[in-house]
Structures are given as structure tokens and as C-alpha cells.
Amino acid sequence: MRQKMYTIPKICKTGDDGLIIAYLGSDKVVPNLGLVESIIETLRMAWLPFGLRYSRASSERVRDAAIWSIARLEGQITLIRDIFDIAPQMLQAYPPMASASVPVQSTTKDKGEKLVTQEINENLDIDLGDDFDFTQNLLTQLS
């Protein structure tokens, strides 16, 4: 059976985001894993159950992925706390994230039927839904 291939766009970032990308591409995360694999593994930890449910995978598969994701994320939380000496009460200053702010791009056709991409300099507040709120609440309770 042939599976649909998805393309990851080229990521060019500066500042903290650029540092993250450079770190994920280094051999400090998992030697010989590579940048794309490191990014996919990171995305999988946080978003696999949602992607599976979106694609209408079986409830068992979604639940198994959710359990796997929670275990991996809890491991990552523990690693961060241990390495950077973070006590749970230190997190009280940071409320759980209920939505994400993302830059918006608009792609339209001009009169010559050529695609024009225009970056809008505003952020759009996107409600990620009850699943995301539940996950954030659960992670807050675990910390």
C-alpha cells in the first residue's frame, strides 16, 4: 500500500527558535538522529494523539498514542526539572497556556493569476480546543 508523503518546509529562524533548531540538529540530542528526525520526534511527543484522532484512527490506537505521549512528555518534564533545578512551585508564576499565538500568512491570486503571499503582522489567537485545554490542565496537575 502506498502512503501519502508529506513535506516539511524549510525552517529558517533566528533568536531562540534558531537556537532550538541548531540544538536539535546537533549530536547533543541523539547522536546520528538528524534534524528532521529530531523535529518529528519532538512533534510526535506533543501531537501524535491529536493527529491520529484527526485522521480517525481507532480509539485504541489514539489512546495508546496518548499514553505514550504522556509518558514521554513526563520524562521530558523530569529531565528539564533535574537538569535546570526547577522546583514545582516555581511554575506557579506561569499559568497554563489555553491558546497559541501564531503569525498569519495570506496567500491570494493577483489579477495575473499569480500566487502572492503576504505576511500579516498580527498574531491570531487560536483556540486549540478542549483536548488541548485538558492536556494543559493534566500537565499542570502533574507538575
Range of the domain at 120: 99-143
φ, ψ dihedrals at 88, nearest 5°: -55, -40
Instruction: Please report whether residue 92 resides in a domain.
Output: no
Q: pLDDT of 65-104, one tens digit each?
A: 999 999 999 999 999 999 999 988 888 877 776 554 444 4
Indicate if 82 and 35 belong to the same structural domain.
yes
Instruction: Please report whether residue 103 resides in a domain.
Output: yes
Instruction: Please report whether residue 91 resides in a domain.
Output: no
Helix (H) or strand (E) holding 138: helix 129-142
Instruction: Please report whether residue 48 resides in a domain.
Output: yes
Helix residue ranges, H only, 15-122? 15-25, 35-54, 59-84
Indicate if 115 and 75 belong to the same structural domain.
no
Indicate if 81 and 106 belong to the same structural domain.
no
**What pTM was computed for the model?**
0.58
Indicate if 118 and 64 belong to the same structural domain.
no
Closest C-alpha among 141, 138, 137 to residue 88: 141
